Amino acid sequence: MEKKILDKPFVRVYPELCKGCELCIDACPPQVLKFHEKFNSKGYHYATYIGENCTGCGICYYACPEPEAIVVYKKGYEYEGEEVA
Amino acid sequence: MASKILQKPEAFYKRYERNPSSDKKSPHYCPGCGHGNVHKFIAEALDDYNVADQTILISPVGCSVFAYYYFDTGNIQAAHGRAPAVATGIKRAHPHSIVISYQGDGDLAAIGTAEILHAANRGENITVFFVNNAIYGMTGGQMAPTTLVDQYSTTTPRGRNPHNEGYPIKVAELISQLEAPVYVERVSLHDTKNRNKARRAVRKALKNQIDNLGFSLVEILSPCTSGWKMDAVPSMKWIEENMVPQFPLGVFKDITDEVEPYERPEMDLSAQDIKKALGLEVVESESFEKPDFPNKYKNPEIKVAGFGGQGVLLLGAAMAQAGMLEDYHVSWLPSYGPEMRGGTANCHVNIRDIEVGSPMVTNPTVLIALNRPSLEKFENDVPEGGLIIYDTSLIDIEVKRTDVEVMPLPATKMADELGNTRTANMITLAAYAAYTGIFSKETLYETLNTAIKHKKFIDINKKAIDLGYEFGLKSKLS
């Protein structure tokens, strides 16, 4: 399969794994995370990426207490198959 | 970090199968709980140093009691406060493992104060992560040893008053005063800069252990959103404004550049070596053939009861010893409750064809009562068809039960006539063996060699066995 390289950083928050504590939103330097207006099944407004200007700094990842709610893809990340973003 | 992706570390399980949650992917921690961050830092470091497979994490009591749900490492959950003691044992037995004691403030600084101080003082080569959130979180927000002065908790409703509850215990300062610890730092989770420092401290503390440098402790100021009744973001501000002034951050001790690595040699734990170290003679005793005897006497659960000085415990131990010589599975459990003097001493003995599950005997199929209180106390515990042997020279009542076998035996009187009252226990043992047929006389003779400490008493005890054996055979026929 063809190797692809991510040309701009990306952050994904898994809605069902987010507990809506807001620490990532508070910590994000470019302020590109916000609460989604919807609730997840646990009843939390979950954090979500506004879709642009993520710098891939990883600060949200370390601010987040959940093991896998947030995944940060940095620029230059190599992947195959489905698009990251 | 060279990696181009930040995602769940491999040192976490893929799914948390033990976690009762439905999705098996979310930890049980409250939103914004600092345990999650610390877990992540540890898991990431375990990945980076590639030591997860040799790591044993000791979970404490507290919210992080379930840390073993999440870490794909070896896991042990210790009794409250005892994690450093358990960690010591694991590390000593497996010097090449990486042992982490993960503890909260109630666990480490209250009930476990002794354990942590002494583990630190011995300089155990372990890593302690001390999550300090200034409150008992799991139990609903009571005052912890680290609760701040004036801080509200359910047990300090007017705020912690030093005149009543003392001052918060500063663990990092305390531990750093000891000689042995190599690295002690206090960090905080309240903002990005401090989270990074915390992450580095976690890594360093683990690396110290990998390098065999000694004891490291990292105290982490961490939010308890539920206990503090705050949202996560304000709780971070609360740490900064309230906790940090009372718990100053920084490295309190770091002698990692000065100490020489010390690798503890593997211990040889074979039974032979332990015996040698204790100066015990290793006796190879031959095993004896099991005599044929009635099924109703097989697999006896025995209780021997009397008063101190009668050789109650020795009688039980000798029974177990005889059982071992005939290749049975045996157990012997002495039990001398609070009434050490003047009351009953007793022991529980199992002699079984299969492994003994519990050494406790609550309903003895064989009760050996050597004084009246013992007979009165345990008579009714014997199941129907059981056997009661009692010393008629000391017990002036009769067995009331009619649904059990009874062997009245004047053991003490017989022993007295033999010339040593203390042989009453061996007379009883032999009478029991002969009556039921469980042990041959040869087995009993051999038992004396290990049961009797002073060789000069062996002869008279042999005579006691002859006497008791004869008595037992006679009782069987009558």
Is residue B12 a part of any domain in this protein? Answer: no
pLDDT tops 80 at residue B267: no
Same domain (yes/no): B218, B305: no
Euclidean distance between CA atoms A15 and B106, whole angstroms: 33
DSSP B150: T
- Check if B191 contacts A (Cβ < 8 Å): yes
Query: Residue B191's closest chain A neighbor by CA?
Result: A27
Predicted pLDDT at A82? 85
Among B1, B3, B6, the strongest candidate for a mutation testing the A interface, having the largest count of A CBs within 10 A, is B6
Q: In the listed set B189, B224, B254, which residue is the last one of a domain according to the structure?
A: B254
B309 or B199: which carries more pLDDT confidence? B199
Q: Tell me how many residue pairs between chain A and chain B have CB atoms under 8 A apart.
A: 94
> Is B378 inside any structural domain?
yes
Domain span holding position A60? 3-78
Residues 6+ apart with CB under 8 A from A69: A13, A14, A17, A18, A19, A47
Residue B375 is encoded by which pair of tokens?
């007979």
Q: Position of tokens 């049980």?
A: B28
Tokens of A80: 């195959």
pLDDT grade for B340, boundaries at 50, 70 and 90 = low
Task: With respect to residue B18, please indicate whether it lies within any of the assigned structural domains.
Answer: no
Residue in A closest to B38 by C-alpha: A65
Examine residue A71 and state whether it is found in any structural domain, yes or no. Answer: yes
pLDDT tens sequence across A14-72: 999 999 999 999 999 999 999 999 999 989 999 999 999 999 999 999 999 999 999 99
* Mean pLDDT in residue range B312-321: 95
Of B261 and B450, the one with more pLDDT: B261
Instruction: Tell me if B347 sits within 8 A of B312, measured CB to CB.
Output: yes
Long-range contacts: B238-247, Cβ < 8 Å, 24+?
B239/B188, B239/B189, B239/B190, B240/B188, B240/B190, B240/B191, B242/B148, B242/B151, B243/B134, B243/B148, B243/B188, B244/B188, B244/B190, B246/B148, B246/B149, B246/B168, B247/B132, B247/B146, B247/B168, B247/B170, B247/B172, B247/B186, B247/B219, B247/B221
Residue of B9, B31, B236 with shortest CB distance to A19 = B31
Is residue B205 pLDDT above 70, yes or no? yes
Count other C-beta atoms under 10 Å from residue B154's C-beta.
13
**Does some domain include residue A41?**
yes
Whether residue B110 contacts residue B68, with contact meaning beta carbons closer than 8 Å, is answered with no
The CATH code of the domain that includes B326 is: 3.40.920.10
- Are B235 and B344 contained in the same domain? no
pLDDT digits (tens, 9 = 90+) for B41-77: 999 999 999 999 999 999 999 999 999 999 999 999 9
Angle, alpha carbons B12-B16-B22 (nearest 5°): 145
Same domain? B322 vs B467? yes
Domain count, chain A: 1
Decide if A74 is inside a domain: yes
User: Quick check: is A45 in a domain?
Assistant: yes
| B128: phi then psi, degrees, rounded to nearest 5 | -115, 125
Query: Is residue A83 in a domain?
Result: no
Is B265 a member of any domain? no
User: pLDDT category, B1, cuts 50, 70, 90?
Assistant: very low
Are residues B99 and B215 located together in one domain of the fold? yes
Among B254, B287, B306, the domain boundary falls at: B254
State what percent of residues in chain B have pLDDT above 70.
97
Instruction: Check B29 against A65: CB less than 8 A apart.
Output: yes
pLDDT per position as a tens digit, B87-141: 999 999 999 999 999 999 999 999 999 999 999 999 999 999 999 999 999 999 9
**pLDDT-based confidence at residue B338 (cuts at 50, 70, 90):** low
Mean pLDDT, chain B, whole residue set:
94
Task: Report whether B385 contacts B337 (CB < 8 A).
Answer: no
Report the distance separating Cα B67 and Cα B36, nearest Å: 10
CB-CB contact of B469 with B444 (8 Å) = yes
> Is B419 among the domain residues?
yes
Look up the CATH number of the domain holding residue B245. 3.40.50.970
B315 and B200 together in one domain: no
Kindly state the DSSP code that residue B136 receives in the 8-state scheme: B
pLDDT recorded at residue B325: 92
CB contact under 8 A, B26 and A58: no
pLDDT in tens, B9-31: 999 999 999 988 888 999 999 99
Helices (H), B326-423: 372-378, 411-418
| B323/B422 same-domain check | yes
User: What pLDDT is recorded for position B284?
Assistant: 67
Residue in chain A nearest B188 by alpha carbon: A63
User: Is residue B2 a part of any domain in this protein?
Assistant: no
- Give a yes or no: residue A85 inside a domain: no
> Nearest CA to CA, how far is A73 from chain B (Å)?
5
User: Which residues on chain A place their C-beta less than 8 Å from a C-beta of chain B?
Assistant: 6, 16-17, 19-23, 26-27, 29, 42, 44, 58-59, 61-68, 70-78
Q: Quick one: B233 and B323 in the same domain?
A: no
ipTM of the complex: 0.97
- Split into its structural domains, chain B has a count of 2
Cβ of residue B193 closer than 8 Å to a chain A Cβ: no
What are the pLDDT digits (tens) for B424-473? 999 999 999 999 999 999 999 999 988 888 889 999 999 999 999 999 99
Residue B286 belongs to a domain:
no
pLDDT, tens digit (0-9, with 9 covering 90-100), for B143-172: 999 999 999 999 999 999 999 999 999 999
Please say which residue of B230, B254, B278 terminates a domain: B254
Average pLDDT over residues B306-325: 91
CB within 8 Å: B36 and A67 = yes
CB neighbourhood size of B474 (10 A): 12
State the residue range of the domain holding B196.
Answer: 34-254
Higher pLDDT, A50 or B270: A50
Q: Which residues of A touch B4 (CB under 8 A)?
A: 6, 73-78
Reference B9, options B72, B88, B82, B85; nearest CA is: B72
Quick check: is A12 in a domain?
A: yes
Grade residue B249 by pLDDT with cuts at 50, 70 and 90.
very high
Q: Could you tell me which chain B residue has the CA closest to the CA of A20?
A: B31
In a domain, B74, yes or no: yes
CA distance A4 to B114: 56
